Amino acid sequence: MLKSLDRNLNKLYKFSGYVAAFFLILVAVFILIGISSRIFGFYIRGLAEYSGYCMAAASFFALAYTFVEGGHIRITLFLEKLSGTKKKFIETWCLSIASFFSGYLAFYFVKMLIISFKFQERSEGADEILIWIPQTSVAIGSTIFFISVFHQFILTIKKD
């Protein structure tokens, strides 16, 4: 059962990376549309805001995938010098701290999303979109990141 959970979580992290790539493509599309619209003399409201929302979504959806693939700045230079019990202790301690802070981050992003939805808050940009719509991707991405850090913490504890 744990191997199945591990496999499904890794699929979730990979899917999160694909979603991040999709939002990066949308950023490029919105920028190209914005450039084209200036060249041809028409204006589309909110393109700059939409590309910003997509960049935030791409950043947060990429967190878990990047973490699992080892792309984040880690303490590996320090851990290479250690071995055995010391290495496991330091790695476990670092992942417990990272789990706490990523959980804290995810909790408050979800809380911010709920408050924005409750009050139907709108963006201050030209588009005046309901702000909970782009905040949803940030809340989901940070939650998946917390799951990935906590998953790595559990795997480190289980490791012999």
Cβ neighbourhood burial of 83 (10 Å; 0-12, 13-18, 19+): exposed
114: Cβ–Cβ under 8 A, 6 or more apart, which residues?
none
pTM above threshold 0.95: no
pLDDT in tens, 80-124: 777 778 888 888 898 899 999 999 999 999 999 999 999 999 888
Rounded to an integer, what distance in angstroms lies between the CA atom of residue 18 and that of residue 16? 5
Three-state DSSP class for 19? helix
Contact at 8 Å (CB) between 144 and 63?
Answer: yes
Contact at 8 Å (CB) between 27 and 34?
Answer: no
Q: Which helix (H) or strand (E) holds 28?
A: helix 2-39
| Structure tokens that stand for 16 in this block | 């999160």
pLDDT in tens, 70-80: 776 666 777 77
pLDDT in tens, 115-135: 999 999 988 877 788 999 999
